Amino acid sequence: MLLAIDVGNTNITCAVICGEETKASFRLTTKQSRTSDEFGIVICDLLERRGVKQEEITDVIIASVVPGIMYSLTSAIIKYLDITPMIVGEGTKSGIRIDTPNPKEIGADRIVDAVAAYYLYGGPVIVVDFGTATTYDLITENGAFTAGITSPGIRISANALWNDTAKLPEIEIEKPATILAKDTITSMQAGLVYGCIGQTEYIINKMKEESGLTNAKVVATGGLGKLIADNTDSIDVYNQMLTMEGLRLIYEKTSGKKA
């Protein structure tokens, strides 16, 4: 079985994949410093708790946007699973072409999502990832990654509200019944959620207009992506496991083996 690991700025998401089926998944916080032994013990314990034996993991693939933890994480995989992980990066066979002035600037997570969206849903496709940052990436009909937009994620915006203002409280991010808020909490929720919906719709429409790819399918992923996708017609598909699907596809293209 394949262990796919996505190292994001906020969370490390792991999935155990067999064929095209996800057998188990779990998440760790990224910002907590860990040694290789700590990573190894935690990952092995979570695998066991999900009913997966260490020896059942035959391959590991990692996509990361946090270089600072990679030495400890990679060492943990080697020491505790006896596997040298495949790292998504320059030279990895992704199946898409990065058609930008500096391809090295494109994060591994965005490449992985682009691969999944293109091969699962076809092109042209716009991928929207509601993560720590909200990203919008355009992949053409022939599989070329041609443009990407980055904006603050909804949680970053929320943190700015309650950390940088004296009287605004920390709130749960959810869509209020109406945008016509009448108290502090629902006014913040309205601004955050409806503001994100409005931004999403405008950026998608502008991307389609300027690229001329008005028929592009829009695929969303990320923690709060479902909240936005459920409240706009601009998003065609929400796939919570898009990144894991992309890691599986890249593993299969690079190794020549099925997960």
Is pLDDT of 3 > 90? yes
In the prediction, which pLDDT does 169 show?
87
Q: What pLDDT does 93 receive?
A: 85
Same domain, 108 and 13: no
- Cα→Cα distances 50→15, 24, 40, 44, 101, Å: 10, 6, 15, 10, 43
Mean predicted confidence (pLDDT) in 185-196? 95
Angle, helices 108-121 vs 242-255, to 10°: value is: 90
Question: Which of 87, 118, 142 represents a domain boundary (last residue)?
Answer: 87
Instruction: Give the C-alpha separation, 256 to 259, whole Å.
Output: 10
What is the domain-level CATH number for residue 122? 3.30.420.40
In this model, does residue 1 exceed pLDDT 90? yes
Residue 7 lies in a domain: yes
How many Å apart are CA 182 and CA 185, to the nearest integer? 9
- Which one from 6, 59, 109, 113 is the annotated catalytic residue? 109
Query: What does the pLDDT average to over 16-43?
Result: 93
Q: Is residue 256 part of a domain?
A: no
Residue 252 domain-assigned? no
Top pLDDT among 171 and 24 is at 24
Same structural domain, 66 and 139: no
| Count, residues in the chain | 259
Q: Is residue 259 part of a domain?
A: no
In a domain, 230, yes or no: yes
Nearest to 128 by CA among 11, 14, 207: 207
Both 82 and 113 in a single domain? no
109 is catalytic: yes
Q: Give the per-residue pLDDT at 32.
A: 78
Domain shared by 70 and 198, yes or no? no
Over 90: is that where the pLDDT of 31 sits?
Answer: no
Q: For the whole model, what pTM was predicted?
A: 0.91
**pLDDT tens digits, one per residue of 227-236:** 999 999 999 9
Q: Do 69 and 165 have their domain in common?
A: no
70: domain range?
2-87
Q: Residue 164 pLDDT > 80, yes or no?
A: yes
What domain count does the chain have?
2
Do 139 and 56 reside in the same domain of the chain?
no
The verdict on 154 and 237 lying in the same domain is yes
Of the candidate ranges 47-56, 75-84, 102-111, 140-149, the one whose mean pLDDT is the lowest: 102-111
Residue 178 lies in a domain: yes
Position 27 in a domain: yes
Residue 41 scores a pLDDT above 80: yes
- Tens-place pLDDT, residues 50-97: 999 999 999 999 999 999 999 999 999 999 999 999 999 877 888 899
